[in-house]
Chain A
């Protein structure tokens, strides 16, 4: 594609650079190894041009333009490291620091803060400026995210992510000048806004202004209580990324090390959410077959992604009847742990603390939903993000990169390759198709991989022949893509039978709780890790999971049974409706 674009020649710091029409000076410079510092720029959202840290000098040009929003021109002569440029960058960062709290040592982002890095890189040794900013209370209203407006540097990354990429627009700019703020409407708490808890804002915030609600210290304490049986489950996407927290290359699967680390942390049992992903396929596959037979309501839409569920409840309640009634794998696992596992292991479910490690901040919101208590207890007690688990591992003094391979505990640690790919966009669809095809046609699949639903295109479509019935499927990731697909269905009435939606662009591997990264190819690398794991698995179809088969035989009877429905399925409610009811109750 780039071949069709016009080539442009320019000089950056004396190096002749070949660039393409429309490319920005920043990208051209980085390609030849000149790392212009940035602050508001992030590859996941594109240039904003608000912070002015990436300024450069251009011969015969006026002032110092921001290189992230300055397109290359033929014959351009750019200098990125002159005295004027260095002085301007330093002043910009000093001005930001002037009203930024100086409590770095106690900050959640201490040591991993982009502003801190920048101050260090630019050699800032004194702050010449100081400004008192009006103090704003830290917003802890959401079960998933904490927003500390005092630390906000107004770069606009979160606003751009929330409105353009996720189409939620819970966060926006308000007021102006020195009063400017990033806030939900009417300075409400996030819990009272349209926030869906996807956490993409927390993943790209350069400082500690927005982050997950941390609960890892609590988990570390609970593990030490001898009266409690603390079990953990870990989602597929975590294994594709947690290595990055320990300086391992992106895309290196670390499943075995992860199991070892969890055991070393002292969890009484180490389970794999992938077991529940296989269970989800059995339940959701059955639901799909049922709905295809009964002709509706179709399309069936997946329900594994709690950010997506909240989005549908808030912005597209007309699709609520289409949502699969299946709980997400995390919640299914929670219900199974406090019933089946508790009984089998002879442990009082009251004494079980069920922890899950997720790539996701919305999972914290999901676990707190009042209806998630089918077992008579909270299905899941505490959700940690991938980043929080990394904190726990660091605190425990575990050298993650050097750990030997470990295994998950049976039976809730046994899983298939179909479950592994749940962590990437298209994965739930592919896993479902592998199983549904074989159940419907009673024939083994020739080609096990459905390449049409793989890859990072925002919306993917395919047709699958299920023994004479053509099933039309679509996959969307990132909420603006989901919204585009739903609006397309509303406007054209186009027929689909089965749709997979994941709230985060790229799927769970790029979830709001994952390690922060500025690598533009990070999604592909993490996806490759999961696909490689899948290829290496002995069992690659959910219905081949013997542990899941045992669970049905000993406890749940069959997919879609009454007890399966009670424990593994749920209901949804339009956010407007829910708000109306709670307002009434309050009155």
Chain B
């Protein structure tokens, strides 16, 4: 499933998280979104799948994209906004190139995940939910990722970092950037 999603994800020329989300550029993503809406139109329960596709196209769900979806599906804007803000999978703001998920499950927490999180906040200069200024990282706290034996766990993009110590954070980030810079934009 994940690779399927990956394959469909268009390569964006923008790097560093600067999604050109504001729809003012002549851009064919709205044409593509239009086709998606046409496909789902008149089917009950189509809002969530259409928002998924929209997020794949744009990287996030900014205002004009939500309005476009609302108009296209004939759904009230307030409802689109309600759904887009309800599910944590949807994001209104552009995300960084990689999402850092710090596991805050019991085992990781006991093993010092909170200190790792603090170190990440300090290193990146952001809070949970924020994106670093260089657009590379979005920081998130997640519940148990199911790898308790490796606690504390930090997942960056698709890479799992095990038994992380707060003092390793700087090195991990630098290594990650070096190793994965060639990847497509992931959000």
Please report A residues at the B interface, Cβ cutoff 8 Å. 163, 169-176, 183-186, 193-194
Binary contact readout B78-116 vs A (1 if CB under 8 angstroms, 0 otherwise): 111110011000000000000000000000000000000
Please report the C-alpha to C-alpha distance between residue A172 and residue B78 in the assembled complex, in whole angstroms: 5
Which of B63, B79, B85, B86 has the most CB atoms of chain A within a 10 A radius of its CB? Answer: B85
Q: Which residue of A lies closest to B77 (CB)?
A: A185
Q: Which 7 A-B pairs have the closest CB atoms?
A: A172-B78, A169-B76, A185-B81, A185-B77, A174-B85, A172-B82, A175-B85
Verify A169–B81 contact, CB threshold 8 A.
no
Verify B86–A169 contact, CB threshold 8 A.
no
Verify A171–B78 contact, CB threshold 8 A.
yes
Verify B79–A169 contact, CB threshold 8 A.
yes
Verify A172–B63 contact, CB threshold 8 A.
no
Interface residues on B, range: 10 to 19
Verify A169–B78 contact, CB threshold 8 A.
yes
Please report B residues at the A interface, Cβ cutoff 8 Å. 63, 66-67, 76-82, 85-86
**Contacting residue for B78 out of A175, A176, A184, CB 8 A:** A184
Please report the C-alpha to C-alpha distance between residue A169 and residue B82 in the assembled complex, in whole angstroms: 11
Residues of chain B contacted by A174 (CB below 8 angstroms): 78, 81-82, 85-86
Verify B86–A185 contact, CB threshold 8 A.
no
Q: How far is the CB of A168 from chain B (nearest CB, A)?
A: 8
A-B contact pairs, 26 of them (CB 8 A): A163-B76, A163-B79, A169-B77, A169-B78, A169-B79, A171-B78, A172-B76, A172-B78, A172-B79, A172-B81, A173-B82, A174-B81, A174-B82, A174-B86, A175-B85, A175-B86, A176-B85, A176-B86, A183-B78, A184-B78, A185-B66, A185-B67, A185-B80, A186-B63, A193-B78, A194-B77
Please report the C-alpha to C-alpha distance between residue A170 and residue B82 in the assembled complex, in whole angstroms: 12
Q: Which residue of A lies closest to B70 (CB)?
A: A185
Residues of chain B contacted by A183 (CB below 8 angstroms): 78
Residues of chain A contacted by B79 (CB below 8 angstroms): 163, 169, 172
A-B CB contacts (within 8 Å), total count: 40
Q: Which residue of B lies closest to A179 (CB)?
A: B85
Contacts beyond the supplied A172-B79, A185-B78, A186-B63: 20 A-B pairs with Cβ under 8 Å: A163-B76, A163-B79, A169-B76, A169-B77, A171-B78, A172-B78, A172-B81, A173-B82, A173-B86, A174-B78, A174-B82, A175-B86, A176-B86, A183-B78, A184-B78, A185-B63, A185-B66, A185-B80, A194-B76, A194-B77
Residues of chain A contacted by B77 (CB below 8 angstroms): 169, 185, 194
Please report the C-alpha to C-alpha distance between residue A184 and residue B78 in the assembled complex, in whole angstroms: 6
Q: How far is the CB of A348 from chain B (nearest CB, A)?
A: 47
Residues of chain B contacted by A185 (CB below 8 angstroms): 63, 66-67, 77-78, 80-81
Q: Which residue of A lies closest to B87 (CB)?
A: A176
A170/B78 contact (C-beta < 8 A), A185-B66, A186-B63 known: yes
Verify A163–B78 contact, CB threshold 8 A.
yes
Q: From DSSP, what is the main secondary structure of chain B's interface residues? A: helix
Please report the C-alpha to C-alpha distance between residue A193 and residue B76 in the assembled complex, in whole angstroms: 11
Residues of chain B contacted by A173 (CB below 8 angstroms): 82, 86
Residues of chain A contacted by B85 (CB below 8 angstroms): 174-176
Please report the C-alpha to C-alpha distance between residue A431 and residue B68 in the assembled complex, in whole angstroms: 43
Q: Which residue of A lies closest to B63 (CB)?
A: A186
Which of A169, A170, A194 has the most CB atoms of chain B within a 10 A radius of its CB? Answer: A169
Which of A173, A183, A184 has the most CB atoms of chain B within a 10 A radius of its CB? Answer: A173
Please report the C-alpha to C-alpha distance between residue A182 and residue B11 in the assembled complex, in whole angstroms: 37
Please report the C-alpha to C-alpha distance between residue A183 and residue B82 in the assembled complex, in whole angstroms: 9
Q: Which residue of A lies closest to B84 (CB)?
A: A174
Residues of chain A contacted by B81 (CB below 8 angstroms): 172, 174, 185-186
Residues of chain B contacted by A193 (CB below 8 angstroms): 78
Residues of chain A contacted by B78 (CB below 8 angstroms): 163, 169-172, 174, 183-185, 193
Please report the C-alpha to C-alpha distance between residue A163 and residue B82 in the assembled complex, in whole angstroms: 13
Please report the C-alpha to C-alpha distance between residue A176 and residue B88 in the assembled complex, in whole angstroms: 9
Please report the C-alpha to C-alpha distance between residue A194 and residue B77 in the assembled complex, in whole angstroms: 9
Q: How far is the CB of A183 from chain B (nearest CB, A)?
A: 8
Q: Which residue of A lies closest to B79 (CB)?
A: A172
Residues of chain B contacted by A175 (CB below 8 angstroms): 85-86
Please report the C-alpha to C-alpha distance between residue A185 and residue B68 in the assembled complex, in whole angstroms: 13
Q: Which residue of B lies closest to A162 (CB)?
A: B78
Residues of chain A contacted by B67 (CB below 8 angstroms): 185
Please report the C-alpha to C-alpha distance between residue A401 and residue B32 in the assembled complex, in whole angstroms: 66
Please report the C-alpha to C-alpha distance between residue A547 and residue B82 in the assembled complex, in whole angstroms: 53
Q: How far is the CB of A182 from chain B (nearest CB, A)?
A: 9
Residues of chain A contacted by B66 (CB below 8 angstroms): 185-186
Q: Which residue of B lies closest to A169 (CB)?
A: B76
Please report the C-alpha to C-alpha distance between residue A176 and residue B81 in the assembled complex, in whole angstroms: 12
Q: How far is the CB of A580 from chain B (nearest CB, A)?
A: 14
Q: Which residue of A lies closest to B92 (CB)?
A: A186
Q: Which residue of B lies closest to A168 (CB)?
A: B76
Residues of chain A contacted by B63 (CB below 8 angstroms): 185-186
Q: How far is the CB of B98 from chain A (nearest CB, A)?
A: 25
Q: Which residue of A lies closest to B80 (CB)?
A: A185
Please report the C-alpha to C-alpha distance between residue A170 and residue B81 in the assembled complex, in whole angstroms: 11
Please report the C-alpha to C-alpha distance between residue A163 and residue B80 in the assembled complex, in whole angstroms: 13
Q: Which residue of A lies closest to B86 (CB)?
A: A176
Q: How far is the CB of B58 from chain A (nearest CB, A)?
A: 16
Q: Which residue of A lies closest to B75 (CB)?
A: A169
Q: Which residue of B lies closest to A159 (CB)?
A: B78
Residues of chain A contacted by B82 (CB below 8 angstroms): 172-174
Q: How far is the CB of A161 from chain B (nearest CB, A)?
A: 13
Residues of chain B contacted by A194 (CB below 8 angstroms): 76-77
